C-alpha cells in the first residue's frame, strides 16, 4: 500500500490565507490559490453561490450584505458577529467554507487532505478547538495545530539554510519573532540551539493587526467627510465596505509613498482626502506601542532582556509598514530582520511542520512549545466564599508539563467532588475559558477539609489529563480532555444549503422555491450551565450593539451611560499607557526607565480591570434591553432565546 501524499501547511489568516508544501527535493512550494496569486483574501460572498477571495469582494460591490470577512476574530464564539442571510452562523462554518476552497484548489495539483493549520500563539483552547472543527467540516484531516510565530521562524531558518545537516549551528541564539498580521499580533521568544527550537515565552493580542490600522484610516476619512458635509459614510453598510477597501489600498500605498488620497462620496457629495505617511503613523502609534509593550512583557516572562537577544524577526504582512521596524529598533536598540516573504512565511513553516515525520533533512529537528495560557482549577476561597482560579500549570510552561496541587473538601459528608478546569490568568474563574471537568465519588462520612490532590498533565498535542486523588481513602478519578473531543456541527453541505436558501431534504423541489425551516442559531445544551451562561453573555453584548443608538427607557439609558463611560475610561487608559511607553522608550536615565516601566505595569493592570468593567456594563445594558425594552425587529429571536435561557438557568 502506497504512503499518503505529504501533508500541506495552511496559514488560515484573518485577512489572507496561504498554503504550501515541502517538495521531494526539499524545496518549499506555495500554491497559487486565486488568479495566479499565492494569497487568498479571507473573505466569502454568500449569494446564489459561495465565493471566496477577491471574487467575494467583487460581488460585494453589488451586494454588500452577502460579504463576510475577518471571521477568524470570532473563532471560539457561538456565532459570527452579525447574521448572514438571516442566520447566525458559527465562525467555524465560515472558516470551513474558506478552507474547503483552499483544499479543492490544492487537490487539483496535490492529492492530499492532510494538513497542518497555524493559529496565533495567543489563541486559547476554545479557539484552537474551533480551528480543528473548521478543518474537519472542510474535509481536511488536521494532523496538528501550530503556533504562527514558531512556524514563521522555522521557515526563516530553512530559507537561511540553518536547518541543513551541515549548517545547524551549535552556538545558541535567542530570537524574538514579532508577528504582526492582518488581524492578530503575536510575539514569541525562541531559543535556537543546534537542531532544537524551544519556545521560552509567547504573548499576543488576538484583536490587533492590520485590520485595526484600516479601521483608524476609515474613521479618519469618515470624520473628515462628516466635518465637511455633515454626513457620516459609516452609516451606509454598502458604502463603508467600499471605503474600507479604499483605505486598505491607501495603507499599502503608504508603505512606499509618502502621501496618498482616498476618494469618498455619499448622497451626491464627494471629497478627496489626503493622508501622509506621518499622519498614518500618528493614527496607529498607540496600537504599535501596545505591540512593543507586549513584546517587552514576553521577554520578561522568558527571563531575558533586550541586550541578550540575538535577532528580532519581523513577520506578517503588517510588518511591512516602515514605522514598525523603526519603532522596534528605537525600543530595543536592535535592527530587526524582516522575513524574506512576510506574507508566506507562516504557510511555509506549517509545511515544514507537516514534513517533520518524513523529510530526511528535518530528521534531527526538534520543536518544543509552551502553553500560551495558564491552566487552573475553579475553586472557592474559604475566606471570602468567592470563586477563585487556582493556577496549576502556569502560562509559558514547557510542554509536556505536569503539576499538582492540594485542595480540600468544602463540607462534611460531601458525596462528590467536581474539578472544573479553566484556562486563563484572571483570578475570577468566570473570566476564564472552561476546558473540562473531572468528577469523583467520595466515601460517606468524610469530614470537611478532607485533602484532595489534583494533578494536571498537558501534552504537546493539547491533550489534558486531569486526576484527583483522596489520600484518606485512596479514591479518585481520571479524565482526558482532547482537542478532538469537539461538539460536532452539522455538515458543511447542510450549512451551504441553509445559507443559500435551499431545502436540503428535498433538493428536487428547488425550482418550486421551497425553503427548509431551519433554526437561526446552533442550539445550546441546557444540561451545560456554563454553555448557557456564555450564550446569554454573548446575546447581551449583541443586543447592546443593536440598542446603542435606540430610544430606551430611563433605566436602560442609565445603564447605557455606564457602558459608554466605561468605554471612555478604557480608551483613556489605553492612551495614557501609550504615552508612558513612549516616554519610557525616549528616556535615557536608567532609574527613570525603571519607574516608567513600573508605571506601565500598573496601568496594564488597570486596563485589564477596565476591560472587565466595560464587558460587565455592556452585558448589563444588553440584558436589560432584552428583558424590558420594546423588541427591535432584528432582536426578536435573540430576545426569545435570552428569556428561554434565563428561565432555564433560574430553575
Count the residues in the chain.
Answer: 651
CATH code reported for the domain at 375-481: 2.60.34.10
| Residue 540 binned pLDDT confidence (cut-offs 50, 70, 90) | confident
Place of cell 530553512: 158
For residue 63, give Cα distances in angstroms to 57, 60, 84, 257, 496. Answer: 9, 5, 12, 32, 18
Contacts (Cβ under 8 Å, ≥6 apart) of 618: 540, 541, 544, 563, 566
* Per-chain mean pLDDT for the chain: 84
Give the Cα-Cα-Cα angle 538, 541, 545 (nearest 5 degrees). Answer: 140
Could you tell me the three cell numbers for 64? 454588500
Total-model pTM: 0.76
User: Could you check whether the bond before residue 638 is cis, i.e. omega within 30 degrees of 0?
Assistant: no
What's the pLDDT tens digit per position in 299-336? Answer: 998 999 999 999 999 999 899 999 999 999 998 999 99
Query: Is residue 33 exposed (0-12), middle (13-18) or buried (19+ Cβ within 10 Å)?
Result: buried
pLDDT for residue 176? 95
Q: How far apart are CA 349 and CA 372, in angstroms?
A: 19
Answer for the pair 38, 18: CB distance below 8 angstroms, yes or no.
Answer: yes
| Residue 68 binned pLDDT confidence (cut-offs 50, 70, 90) | very high
Q: How far apart are CA 651 and CA 646, in angstroms?
A: 9
Query: Is residue 586 exposed (0-12), middle (13-18) or buried (19+ Cβ within 10 Å)?
Result: exposed
Per DSSP, what are the bridge partners of residue 393?
Answer: 375
Question: How many beta carbons lie within 10 A of that of residue 105, not counting itself?
Answer: 18
pLDDT for residue 323? 95
Question: Residue range 552-566: average pLDDT?
Answer: 88
pLDDT for residue 517? 35
Task: For the chain, give every residue range classified as CATH 2.60.34.10.
Answer: 375-481
What's the pLDDT tens digit per position in 591-647? Answer: 787 788 778 777 777 777 787 788 888 888 988 888 888 777 767 777 888 888 888
What's the pLDDT tens digit per position in 396-426? Answer: 898 889 998 888 888 888 888 888 888 888 8
> In this predicted model, which residue has the larger pLDDT, 71 or 160?
71
Question: How many beta carbons lie within 10 A of that of residue 352, not counting itself?
Answer: 26
Q: How far apart are CA 352 and CA 601, in angstroms?
A: 38
| Residue 357 binned pLDDT confidence (cut-offs 50, 70, 90) | confident
Q: What is the CA radius of gyration of the chain?
A: 26
Closest CA to 38 of 22, 53, 60, 23: 53
Amino acid at each position: 500500500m502506497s504512503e499518503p501524499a505529504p501533508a500541506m501547511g495552511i496559514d488560515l489568516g484573518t485577512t489572507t490565507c496561504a498554503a504550501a508544501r515541502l517538495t521531494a527535493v526539499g524545496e518549499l512550494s506555495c500554491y497559487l490559490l486565486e488568479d495566479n496569486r499565492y494569497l487568498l483574501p479571507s473573505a466569502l460572498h454568500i449569494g446564489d453561490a459561495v465565493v471566496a477571495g477577491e471574487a467575494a469582494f467583487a460581488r460585494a460591490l453589488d451586494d454588500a450584505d452577502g460579504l463576510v470577512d475577518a471571521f477568524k476574530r470570532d473563532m471560539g464564539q457561538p456565532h459570527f458577529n452579525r447574521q448572514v442571510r438571516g442566520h447566525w452562523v458559527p465562525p467555524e462554518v465560515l472558516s470551513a467554507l474558506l478552507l474547503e476552497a483552499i483544499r479543492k484548489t490544492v487537490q487539483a495539483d496535490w492529492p492530499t487532505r492532510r494538513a497542518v493549520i497555524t493559529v496565533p500563539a495567543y489563541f486559547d483552547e476554545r479557539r484552537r478547538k474551533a480551528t480543528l472543527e473548521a478543518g474537519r467540516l472542510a474535509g481536511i484531516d488536521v494532523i496538528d495545530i501550530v503556533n504562527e510565530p514558531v512556524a514563521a521562524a522555522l521557515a526563516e531558518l530553512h530559507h537561511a539554510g540553518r536547518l541543513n545537516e551541515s549548517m545547524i549551528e551549535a552556538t545558541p541564539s535567542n530570537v524574538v519573532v514579532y508577528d504582526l498580521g492582518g488581524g492578530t499580533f503575536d510575539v514569541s521568544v525562541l531559543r535556537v540551539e543546534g537542531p532544537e527550537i524551544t519556545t521560552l515565552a509567547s504573548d499576543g493580542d488576538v484583536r490587533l493587526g492590520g485590520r485595526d490600522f484600516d479601521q483608524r484610516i476609515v474613521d479618519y476619512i469618515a470624520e473628515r467627510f462628516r466635518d465637511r458635509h455633515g454626513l457620516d459614510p459609516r452609516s451606509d453598510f454598502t458604502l463603508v465596505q467600499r471605503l474600507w477597501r479604499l483605505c486598505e489600498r491607501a495603507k499599502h500605498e503608504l508603505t512606499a509613498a509618502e502621501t496618498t488620497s482616498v476618494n469618498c462620496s455619499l448622497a451626491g457629495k464627494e471629497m478627496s482626502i489626503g493622508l501622509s505617511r506621518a499622519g498614518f503613523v500618528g493614527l496607529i502609534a498607540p496600537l504599535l506601542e501596545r505591540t512593543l509593550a507586549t513584546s517587552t512583557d514576553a521577554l520578561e516572562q522568558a527571563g531575558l532582556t533586550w541586550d541578550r537577544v540575538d535577532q528580532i524577526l519581523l513577520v506578517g504582512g503588517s510588518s511591512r509598514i516602515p514605522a514598525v521596524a523603526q519603532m522596534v529598533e528605537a525600543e530595543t536598540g536592535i535592527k530587526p530582520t524582516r522575513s524574506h516573504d512576510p506574507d508566506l512565511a507562516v504557510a511555509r513553516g506549517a509545511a515544514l511542520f507537516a514534513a517533520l515525520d518524513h523529510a530526511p533533512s528535518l530528521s534531527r529537528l526538534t520543536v518544543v512549545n509552551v502553553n500560551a495560557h495558564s491552566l487552573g482549577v475553579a475553586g472557592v476561597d474559604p475566606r471570602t466564599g468567592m470563586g477563585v482560579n487556582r493556577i496549576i500549570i502556569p502560562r509559558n510552561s514547557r510542554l509536556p508539563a505536569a503539576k499538582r496541587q492540594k485542595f480540600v473538601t468544602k463540607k462534611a459528608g460531601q458525596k462528590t467532588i467536581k474539578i472544573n478546569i479553566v484556562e486563563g490568568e484572571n483570578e475570577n474563574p468566570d473570566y476564564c475559558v472552561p476546558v473540562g471537568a473531572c468528577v469523583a465519588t467520595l466515601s460517606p462520612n468524610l469530614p470537611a477539609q478532607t485533602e484532595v490532590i489534583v494533578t494536571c498533565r498537558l501534552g504537546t498535542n493539547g491533550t489534558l489529563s486531569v486526576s484527583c486523588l483522596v489520600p484518606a481513602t485512596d479514591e479518585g478519578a481520571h479524565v482526558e480532555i482532547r482537542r478532538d473531543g469537539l461538539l460536532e456541527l452539522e455538515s458543511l453541505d447542510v450549512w451551504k444549503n441553509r445559507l443559500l436558501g435551499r431545502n436540503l431534504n428535498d433538493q428536487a423541489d428547488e425550482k418550486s422555491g421551497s425553503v427548509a425551516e431551519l433554526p437561526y442559531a446552533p442550539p445550546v445544551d441546557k444540561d451545560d450551565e456554563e454553555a448557557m451562561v456564555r450564550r446569554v453573555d454573548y446575546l447581551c453584548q449583541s443586543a447592546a450593539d443593536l440598542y446603542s443608538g435606540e430610544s430606551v427607557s430611563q433605566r436602560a439609558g442609565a445603564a447605557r451611560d455606564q457602558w459608554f463611560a466605561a468605554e471612555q475610561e478604557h480608551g483613556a487608559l489605553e492612551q495614557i499607557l501609550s504615552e508612558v511607553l513612549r516616554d519610557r522608550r525616549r528616556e535615557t536615565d536608567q532609574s527613570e526607565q525603571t519607574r516608567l516601566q513600573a508605571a506601565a505595569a500598573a496601568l496594564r493592570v488597570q486596563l485589564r480591570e477596565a476591560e472587565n468593567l466595560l464587558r460587565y456594563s455592556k452585558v448589563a445594558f444588553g440584558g436589560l434591553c432584552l428583558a424590558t425594552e420594546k423588541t427591535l425587529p432584528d432582536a426578536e429571536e435573540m430576545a426569545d432565546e435570552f428569556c428561554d435561557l434565563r428561565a432555564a438557568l433560574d430553575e
